[in-house]
Amino acid sequence: MTQNIQFEIAKLIDIAGVLALQELYLVANLSEEEKTAGFVTTPFTIQQLTEVIQKEELFIAKDTNHIIAYIFAGSWDFFHQWPIFNHMISLLPELIFLDSDFTTKNSFQYGPICIHQDYRGKRLITPFFEFMRINMKSKYPLSLTFINKINIPSTKAHTEKLKWTIIKEFQFNNNEYLILAYDMNQSVKQTI
């Protein structure tokens, strides 16, 4: 990892850079072969990015002022505008992790996360995730995310590098997903 990488909480001036990165890895824009390297599924608009920056959290990584990664972290109130997240909310009462029940108040939706391919496999994900975790842990003790089963690189990164726990599977719009949970009080630094 280069010395120029900085982790920040996104500002409105960062929207263009986030959109450019999203465009590179949006599943709808990729060939079947390109999808095997990982992808993001949710296309955020300028209005949605503005809302997440002003009301929720959007974390970015920059290398000499170019956005090379992002992590969304938001309340279920924000994410309910997409049908798949509404489905996730409906599953909350069924989910248990570390003897804890999930609610819309004690958990948040982590992701999507996107890292430019030139920075993958270079130990960026762990310190970047840790930056997000430190900023979010006082608001929520638990985090949830879901990953499309065909997105094997993302599943491996989250379970092997970040130590997320797979707690359930579900189907939505003819796709199969894994639900993963994370204890926000658990540092990932020891896994570096």
pLDDT given at position 191: 43
Domain count, the chain: 1
Higher pLDDT, 179 or 192: 179
pLDDT given at position 72: 94
Kindly report the CATH number assigned to the domain that includes residue 42.
Answer: 3.40.630.30
pLDDT given at position 192: 40
**pLDDT (tens digit per residue) in 41-86:** 778 899 999 999 999 999 999 999 899 999 999 999 999 888 999 9
Which domain, by its residues, includes 142?
5-191
Tell me the residue type at 105.
K
Q: Which residues contact 178 (CB under 8 A, 6 or more apart)?
A: 146, 147, 149, 155, 166, 168, 169
**pLDDT (tens digit per residue) in 124-167:** 999 999 999 999 999 999 999 999 998 898 899 999 999 999 99
The DSSP secondary structure of the chain, one letter per residue, reads --TTEEEEE--GGGHHHHHHHHHHHBGGGS-HHHHTT--B-----HHHHHHHHHHSEEEEEEETTEEEEEEEEE-HHHHTTSHHHHHHHHHGGG-EETTEE--TTTEEEEEEEEE-GGGTTSS-HHHHHHHHHHHHTTT-SEEEEEEETT-HHHHHIIIIIS--EEEEEEEETTEEEEEEEEETTS-SGGG-
Per the listing, tokens 């726990």 go with 165
